[in-house]
Structure formats: structure tokens, C-alpha cells
């Protein structure tokens, strides 16, 4: 093999390996997209018999599905709002005050961001039974808030650190209270940070299956993540087209929010902040 040939191979090799990886990643995804517009979708990827939007229409016009989507939006939206508000409040003294136990507190928070939630679900279930929160949508929101709180506090505290305190002091001189200072001066300057936290919390719970699966019982309380699982079991084998359409609809908010989050994450993707996927 001549040196020229070798050089050529080294040029082309990374491209072919990447292309192969790309195809492997693409095929399962392509199936769900194609099957969702196929009148006669099968388990394997194939060219559609006829293109149709009926799968989407059927899924969207179903009252139960609409309900599941709304519940999902309500749960994840409610969680995101609460995490941001409570997180901002908690971040304020952690960022601005000289507190004695700040460092161990922040380390505990960081520690909590990485604990597997799965491991506490059995006692949480028992706790929900005794607090009469079992099968209650608001109960699930509270648990979601608690589980995302460490991440929210950690991120918002770091974002708040970068807002200079002089601006706030100027507002105080003009007679603003501490709360008004946070609301009118600090929070507006943290919009990218707030959006990042809101988006990551929202998509985290929107895609979460285990927590609502344990804490909710009646189908009329199911968010989209559970509805789709139920759908999988009931009609999955018979109607791949509708199942695929439902899946695409359900995945859309996560995809949109991810794209949106890219606009706010100016620094790109770093390890700082203990991001959770």
C-alpha cells in the first residue's frame, strides 16, 4: 500500500464509520416517522402503502388522548414554574448572603442532583398513601418539584452569581424591597438561566414514565407518558400507524424544547451544573 493510498484511507475511514453509526441511529427513528404517515404500517420499516394524516387525526381527535396531553402539560408546566420560583428564592441567599453552612449545603444539593430517583419510589408510594396523595395529579407535581429542586437550586444559584449586586443595590436606593429587587432586577437578567432550568425540568418530567406509573392509578389521571404505554399494550400490536403517530406527537414537545434550549445555552455544553439527561 503506497503512502498516498494510506492517506486516502485515513481520510475516508472516519467518514464511513460515522456514516455507519448514523444509519444505525437513524433506522429506528425513521420507522416511527414513516409508520406514522402510513395507512398500513407494519413492525418493520417500509415505504408507506399510502401516505396519510389520518393516524394523527385519529390520535388528536380522541378525547382521552387530548386529556392525557393536557394533564402532561399541566404537570410538567406546573413543575417547571414551581421549581423556578422556589429555586430563585432559595438561590438568592445562597448567592448573596454570607452563610455559615453554605458550602456543605451546596455540596448536599449537588449530591442530591445525582441520586437515582428510582430507588426512593417504593417509600414515596407508601408516603403518598398515608398523605392521601396517591392517584392525585397535584401530588405527582409536588414530587416532581422535590426531585428537580436540587438541580434547580444548583443551576439558578450559579446563574445568579453572575448578576452583579450593584444593580440591585441601585434599586434598593430607589426604595425597592428585596423581593421587588429580585423580581424586577435580578430575575430579568437571568432569563437565559431561568429558561434553561424550566426547559430541562419540563422535559425531564414530560418524558418520565416511572414516577406517574407508581403514583397514579386511574386512567383518567394519566399523563401522555402513561397513556402511550397503555396504548402500546392495548392496540400496539394491531395498529402501528396510530401508535407511531401518538409517539411522534408525544416526542414533539421534548424536541422543540431542546431546540429552544440551545438558544439559551450560550456557553455551549459543559459539565458544570450536573446536567441530567
Q: Does 251 bind another protein (CB under 8 A)?
A: yes
Q: Does 60 bind another protein (CB under 8 A)?
A: no
Per-residue contact track with another protein, 192 to 211, x per CB under 8 A?
A: -----------x--xxxxx-
Q: Does 121 bind another protein (CB under 8 A)?
A: yes
Q: How many residues bind another protein (CB under 8 A)?
A: 94
Per-residue contact track with another protein, 131 to 160, x per CB under 8 A?
A: -----------xx-xxx-xx-xx-------
Query: Among residues 12, 70, 255, 260, which is the contact residue for another protein, using CB under 8 A?
Result: 255
How big is the chain by its Cα radius of gyration, in Å? Answer: 24
Segment near another protein (CB under 8 A); pick from 52-60, 63-71, 114-122, 183-191: 114-122
Residue 54 beta carbon to another protein: minimum distance, rounded to whole angstroms = 20
Q: Does 47 bind another protein (CB under 8 A)?
A: no
Residue 76 beta carbon to another protein: minimum distance, rounded to whole angstroms = 11
Q: Does 15 bind another protein (CB under 8 A)?
A: yes
Query: Among residues 7, 54, 66, 169, which is the contact residue for another protein, using CB under 8 A?
Result: 169
Cβ proximity to another protein, 47 vs 61, nearer residue: 47
Q: Does 243 bind another protein (CB under 8 A)?
A: yes
List Cα–Cα distances, 29 to 25, 125, 135, 247, 260, in angstroms.
7, 34, 33, 11, 21
Q: What is the 3-state secondary structure (H, E, C) of the chain?
A: CCHHHHHHHHHHHHHHHHHHHHHHHHHHHHHHHHHCCECCCCCCCCCCCCECCHHHHHHHHCHHHHHHHHHHHHHHHHHHHHHHHHHHHHHHHHHHCCCCCHHHHHHHHHHHHCCCHHHHHHHHHHHHHHCCCCCCHHHHHHHHHHHHHHHHHHHHHHHHHCCCHHHHHHHHHCCCCHHHHHHHHHHHHCHHHHHHHHHHHHHHHHCCCHHHHHHCCCHHHCCHHHHHHHHHHHCCCCCHHHHHHHHHHHHHHHHHHHHHHHHHCCCCCCCCCCCCC
The whole-angstrom separation of Cα 16 and Cα 12 is 6
Q: Does 228 bind another protein (CB under 8 A)?
A: yes
Residue 112 beta carbon to another protein: minimum distance, rounded to whole angstroms = 7
Query: Among residues 8, 9, 39, 43, which is the contact residue for another protein, using CB under 8 A?
Result: 43
- Kindly tell me the burial class for residue 259, based on how many C-beta atoms sit within 10 Å of its own C-beta (0-12, 13-18, 19 or more): exposed
Interacting positions 84-113 with another protein (CB under 8 A): 86-87, 89-90, 92-94, 96-99, 107, 110-112
Q: Does 260 bind another protein (CB under 8 A)?
A: no
Q: Does 73 bind another protein (CB under 8 A)?
A: no
Q: Does 271 bind another protein (CB under 8 A)?
A: yes
Q: Does 118 bind another protein (CB under 8 A)?
A: yes
Q: Pull the grid cell for residue 247.
A: 409517539
Query: Among residues 4, 173, 218, 238, which is the contact residue for another protein, using CB under 8 A?
Result: 173
Amino acid at each position: 500500500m503506497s503512502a498516498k493510498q494510506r492517506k486516502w484511507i485515513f481520510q475516508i475511514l472516519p467518514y464511513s464509520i460515522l456514516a455507519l453509526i448514523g444509519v444505525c441511529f437513524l433506522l429506528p427513528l425513521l420507522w416511527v416517522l414513516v409508520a406514522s404517515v402510513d395507512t398500513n404500517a407494519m413492525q418493520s420499516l417500509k415505504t408507506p402503502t399510502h401516505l396519510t394524516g389520518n393516524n394523527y387525526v385519529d390520535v388528536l381527535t380522541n378525547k382521552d388522548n387530548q386529556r392525557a396531553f393536557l394533564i402532561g402539560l399541566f404537570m410538567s408546566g406546573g413543575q417547571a414554574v414551581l421549581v423556578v420560583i422556589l429555586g430563585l428564592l432559595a438561590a438568592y441567599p445562597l448567592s448573596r448572603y454570607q452563610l455559615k453552612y453554605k458550602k456543605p449545603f451546596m455540596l448536599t444539593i449537588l449530591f442530591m442532583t445525582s441520586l437515582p430517583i428510582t430507588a426512593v419510589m417504593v417509600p414515596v408510594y407508601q408516603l403518598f398513601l398515608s398523605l392521601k396523595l396517591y392517584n392525585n395529579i397535584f401530588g405527582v407535581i409536588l414530587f416532581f418539584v422535590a426531585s428537580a429542586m436540587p438541580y434547580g437550586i444548583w443551576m439558578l444559584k450559579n446563574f445568579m452569581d453572575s448578576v452583579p449586586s450593584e444593580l440591585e443595590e441601585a434599586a434598593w436606593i430607589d426604595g425597592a424591597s428585596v423581593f421587588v429587587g429580585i423580581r424586577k432586577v435580578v430575575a430579568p437578567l437571568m432569563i437565559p438561566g431561568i429558561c434553561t432550568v424550566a426547559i430541562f425540568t419540563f422535559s425531564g418530567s414530560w418524558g418520565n414514565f416511572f414516577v406517574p406509573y407508581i403514583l397514579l392509578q386511574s386512567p383518567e389521571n394519566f399523563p401522555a407518558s402513561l397513556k402511550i404505554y397503555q396504548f402500546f399494550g392495548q392496540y400496539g400490536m394491531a395498529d402501528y400507524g396510530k401508535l407511531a403517530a401518538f409517539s411522534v406527537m408525544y416526542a414533539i414537545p421534548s424536541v422543540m424544547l431542546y431546540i429552544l434550549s440551545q438558544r439559551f445555552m450560550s456557553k455551549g455544553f459543559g459539565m458544570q451544573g450536573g446536567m441530567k439527561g
